[in-house]
Structure 1
């Protein structure tokens, strides 16, 4: 096994398709997203939403940083493969801790998160000794080391856990847009952060499919537990329709141009923005998963405002993220998707007067309408300017 710094970096002729270990890594997020949906289902309130968001953010940070890592480094290199396997284990440990991540399992959740980020950065910085790109890895190591102090402080002192972890998340998400500025090492330049658009686009699509898979699994489990009554069956079909419509609205037509936009623009800005917008969309799918469970279990009941809100919020978050993604790619707004947002807001206001099944049916009608109008207006979504 070659230990030269260049042996760690990606090769120009390396295939752009995701490797087996990247897909293996994605599988860990089936458990992670399922655990997050259960946490939110157990507490459908503002506090429950905030807690779920606080746990989703570091998990998404792991996924995005790993996607960039596999784009920068040679996936056939044994060290890279070992780090991918270790990161997969780290995500699984974080997932196991999620139900009590802000309580008794805080050490497992935060410890695994800090260990996988620091471990990866240490291994790559040691291997790249003497190479110009080592500065990039050292900057990342310093920033994750700084946020790690707050993650671990929250473990040691439960009284400051939530504010400390909030600061840690803020540091982790501010680092890349700022270029990881570090005393003595400067700020990362666009040339150091070059990404392959086709590879990153494929990775985004794969993790989004994983999220949709978790939604389908949740709907299937809820349907199995509720029985095969007419109302439960209709609710299950509506949940499946939302999953299918969400998938269709995601892949067409911007998927053809996202890769080109990443290749042509500053990855420090556009690559991070694309990742954050995918976070919004995946948060929407997690909320939709919770809503599917609620609607299938209680289809004919008039639910409280929080249940109605979560039922509408999932598709609304997805559409908001999808509108934003189209806007940054094409530098103009998808009007059909944008019009879906006020329509969903109307459903949220009228929802408490309807059974949950009616709220879900109205939401499906909005997504179908958006899909039809979007198909008719594809002409404006030509290649990026």
Structure 2
């Protein structure tokens, strides 16, 4: 390991574009999303949906913190590259454990999660000996070490597994927002958490495209297993339309202004909020992926509460996250998206009298209306207001 503590830190001239190993790490997240989309399909129920949500929150923690790590440190440094490769392996192991993560594969899921977070902290703490930013790493390592105990306790004790893991995740998600306060080390200052808006914006766009890709793959695989009749063919086109409209709604207009806002605002607040909102949007796309399988296999059936709810809930979650993202960037609400939420509720209420194909068509029509209105407003809309 380099004798210079600062050798691990990112260089000013380092390009903002994602590195090869960051994209390689994203491939493991593809498997994670694919595995998660299969969990509710075992039996569409509140319990299965809640389980998928719990696992997604844990997997997103690994993705988001790894993205921050790659933003803070020199991605050409061999030790940084080793951490990224290790995180990729850990994400793959967590993905493998997903189908039985709260059962027989709990140790694999929890062990990989803890190893990623603690291992990253140990490497950077050793490499930053004598550097002022080592205190930041030690704070983060202390928090993940403490919550890691909870993860392992949950893995060892099935009776309390889920509530203990929920508590551990609550701490893991709260810590960045409050600066990882640690006895003897204090809490991180905004300057220690400074992020590069251009890099993080690209990473968020890439992971959102990955989520849309999982939706398209699910639709394609399911459609290929049908008889390619008219009803499933229309359903496939509708699912494709949802993917396209979701992508266009994501980048217009706040997507283009996210980088500037990340550069200008307090990362301990704004950086964590934008990460959480991307989690909500990706959860929406994942729910849409699960619904796509149902719409494609039962397009003319109706009256199924779970299927109708999932078909509408996915776009609703995405829009809710997207409304909130616009609000924190521009400090105002996006009224077309905001009006889209109650409209989706109405579609869900009326959906019980419609076949799933009709529910999907109504959802696509609504997303199209929201996109058209949003683009009209974007031509004269305000730029994000700066300031802390």
TM-score (norm: length of structure 1): 0.99
**Structure 1 residue 380 displacement after superposition:** 4.8
Residues 252 and 378 of structure 2 are in contact (CA less than 8 Å); yes or no, is this contact kept in structure 1? no
Alignment partner of 1:304 is 2:304? yes
CA deviation map 1:336-378 (0-9, x unaligned): 1111101100011111111100100000010011011111111
Residues 31 and 92 of structure 1 are in contact (CA less than 8 Å); yes or no, is this contact kept in structure 2? yes
CA distance in 2, matches of 1:3, 1:60: 33
Q: Which runs of 4+ in 1 moved over 6 A?
A: none
**Structure 1 residue 199 displacement after superposition:** 0.5
**1:99-114 equivalences in 2 (<5 Å):** 99-114=99-114
CA distance in 1, matches of 2:3, 2:107: 34
Aligned partner of 2:168 in structure 1 is: 168
CA distance in 2, matches of 1:330, 1:310: 30
Alignment gaps of 5+ in structure 2: none
CA distance in 2, matches of 1:85, 1:380: 44
**1:184-333 equivalences in 2 (<5 Å):** 184-333=184-333
RMSD: 0.9
**Structure 1 residue 111 displacement after superposition:** 0.4
Residues 330 and 381 of structure 1 are in contact (CA less than 8 Å); yes or no, is this contact kept in structure 2? no
CA distance in 2, matches of 1:179, 1:225: 49
CA distance in 1, matches of 2:303, 2:376: 36
**Structure 1 residue 303 displacement after superposition:** 4.2
Mean alpha-carbon deviation: is it higher for 272-281 or for 36-45? 36-45
Residues 2 and 127 of structure 2 are in contact (CA less than 8 Å); yes or no, is this contact kept in structure 1? no
**1:106-145 equivalences in 2 (<5 Å):** 106-145=106-145
CA deviation map 1:191-239 (0-9, x unaligned): 1000000100000000000000000000000101122010000000000
Alignment partner of 1:20 is 2:20? yes
Aligned partner of 1:79 in structure 2 is: 79
**Structure 1 residue 43 displacement after superposition:** 2.6
Aligned partner of 2:35 in structure 1 is: 35
**1:359-374 equivalences in 2 (<5 Å):** 359-374=359-374
TM-score (norm: length of structure 2): 0.98
**Structure 1 residue 382 displacement after superposition:** 2.5
CA deviation map 1:120-177 (0-9, x unaligned): 1001001101110000000000100111111100111111101110111111101100
CA deviation map 1:63-89 (0-9, x unaligned): 110010000000000000011011000
Residues 98 and 109 of structure 2 are in contact (CA less than 8 Å); yes or no, is this contact kept in structure 1? yes
CA distance in 2, matches of 1:209, 1:303: 32
CA distance in 1, matches of 2:52, 2:303: 21
**Structure 1 residue 3 displacement after superposition:** 3.4
Aligned partner of 1:381 in structure 2 is: 381
CA distance in 1, matches of 2:167, 2:2: 40
CA distance in 2, matches of 1:82, 1:381: 44
CA distance in 2, matches of 1:226, 1:110: 37
Mean alpha-carbon deviation: is it higher for 64-73 or for 248-257? 248-257
Alignment gaps of 5+ in structure 1: none
Aligned partner of 2:98 in structure 1 is: 98
**Structure 1 residue 304 displacement after superposition:** 1.5
Alignment partner of 1:62 is 2:62? yes
